[in-house]
Amino acid sequence: MVSVLLIEDDQRIRQSLAGSLADLGYDVRSTTTGIAGVEEAVTAAPDVVVLDLGLPDIGGNEVLKMIRAVTSVPVIVATAQDDEGGIVRIFDAGADDYVVKPFSAEHLAARIRAVLRRTGGDTADTEIRIAGLTVDLAAHEATLDGEPLDLTSKEFELLAYLAARPGVMIPKRVLMAEVWRQPYGGADKTVDVHLSWLRRKLGESASEARFIHTRRGVGVKLVDPSA
Ligand code: CA
């Protein structure tokens, strides 16, 4: 059974699409906000995501980038616009396909089948360099300005996860699921504590951030401080 995650804030569209897709034999779950959608895209590991661009909490293109940063799940964007510039931006942000509203569940199902037929695996680089920071994924080692960092296994995984997605804000719950392999729920402290250890080892602090930047209620990102 193909599982679909529907990220759509319009209740009428969401219920109607979810019902029709279920009738067509899809396993459908849905969220109404971008943040919940990114979390669900990781924890529920759907086969395909259908993303509405006009969401109440975060811009659709931003949600798309966040999803792209944490999973390679195919994403079909549902958009009200059919202007060429908007569509180019959607693909640049990592969409696999798009449908222009209004569309039928049958039309969407055909796009889902096509996207699933052509999506393949992706390959990852084994070494990441950001300014003076080097993260060697194969050797499980990191250096800062040529000096080895003495990281615990979880600190390394956290650093590697963020460094592989530079500039992209990652929700802490996604880190709980991806780095700690734990279902989330009030466990943000674990992430905070490890972030604080990691920062200390990188020679920075929350008030004097260089690589690691957090935004309350949203998440954390690793940035190139020289950029
Ligand atoms: Ca909407």
52 Cα to the center of ligand 1, angstroms: 6
11 Cα to the center of ligand 1, angstroms: 9
Q: Which of 71, 105, 125 is the last residue of a domain?
A: 125
5 Cα to the center of ligand 1, angstroms: 15
Least confident of 19-33, 94-108, 177-191: 177-191
* CA dihedral of residues 71, 73, 74, 79 (deg, nearest 10): -60
Is the pLDDT confidence value at 150 over 60? yes
Amino acid at 219: G
158 Cα to the center of ligand 1, angstroms: 33
185 Cα to the center of ligand 1, angstroms: 27
Q: Which of 125, 144, 160 is the last residue of a domain?
A: 125
3-state DSSP of 202-220: CCCCCCCCCCEEEECCCEE
Its domain, for residue 70, covers: 1-125
The tokens describing 216, both together, are 């309350």
Supply the pLDDT for residue 169: 82
Please tell me whether residues 78 and 14 are part of one structural domain. Answer: yes
180 Cα to the center of ligand 1, angstroms: 32
Please tell me whether residues 118 and 141 are part of one structural domain. Answer: no
Please tell me whether residues 51 and 135 are part of one structural domain. Answer: no
113 Cα to the center of ligand 1, angstroms: 24
CATH number, domain with residue 145: 1.10.10.10
Is the pLDDT confidence value at 121 over 70? no
55 Cα to the center of ligand 1, angstroms: 5
Supply the pLDDT for residue 45: 92
Supply the pLDDT for residue 1: 84
- The pLDDT confidence band at residue 128, using thresholds 50, 70 and 90, is confident
Please tell me whether residues 94 and 144 are part of one structural domain. Answer: no
46 Cα to the center of ligand 1, angstroms: 21
53 Cα to the center of ligand 1, angstroms: 6
Please tell me whether residues 118 and 135 are part of one structural domain. Answer: no
Please tell me whether residues 135 and 102 are part of one structural domain. Answer: no
Cβ neighbours, 10 Å, residue 25:
9
Is the pLDDT confidence value at 124 over 80? no
- The pLDDT confidence band at residue 122, using thresholds 50, 70 and 90, is very low
Please tell me whether residues 9 and 118 are part of one structural domain. Answer: yes
Chain length of the chain: 227
CA distances from 111 to 108, 115, 125, 149, 152 (A): 5, 6, 30, 47, 44
- The pLDDT confidence band at residue 194, using thresholds 50, 70 and 90, is very high
Supply the pLDDT for residue 81: 66
Please tell me whether residues 120 and 210 are part of one structural domain. Answer: no
Residue 83 class from Cβ within 10 Å (0-12 exposed, 13-18 middle, 19+ buried)? Answer: exposed
pLDDT in tens, 53-74: 889 999 888 999 999 988 889 9
Closest CA to 113 of 141, 74, 149: 74
49 Cα to the center of ligand 1, angstroms: 15
Please tell me whether residues 190 and 105 are part of one structural domain. Answer: no
Instruction: Among 33-42, 78-87, 135-144, 180-189, name the most confident range.
Output: 33-42
Supply the pLDDT for residue 170: 83
What is the number of domains present in the chain? 2
Please tell me whether residues 110 and 97 are part of one structural domain. Answer: yes
Please tell me whether residues 58 and 21 are part of one structural domain. Answer: yes
Q: Read off the pTM.
A: 0.59
Supply the pLDDT for residue 113: 85
Supply the pLDDT for residue 82: 65
Residue, of 116 and 16, whose pLDDT is higher = 16
80 Cα to the center of ligand 1, angstroms: 9
CATH number, domain with residue 45: 3.40.50.2300
Residue, of 142 and 92, whose pLDDT is higher = 142
Please tell me whether residues 42 and 101 are part of one structural domain. Answer: yes
64 Cα to the center of ligand 1, angstroms: 14
Q: Which of 125, 142, 159 is the last residue of a domain?
A: 125
146 Cα to the center of ligand 1, angstroms: 48
pLDDT in tens, 3-59: 999 999 999 999 999 999 999 889 999 999 999 999 999 999 999 999 998 899 998
SS3 of residue 138 by DSSP: coil
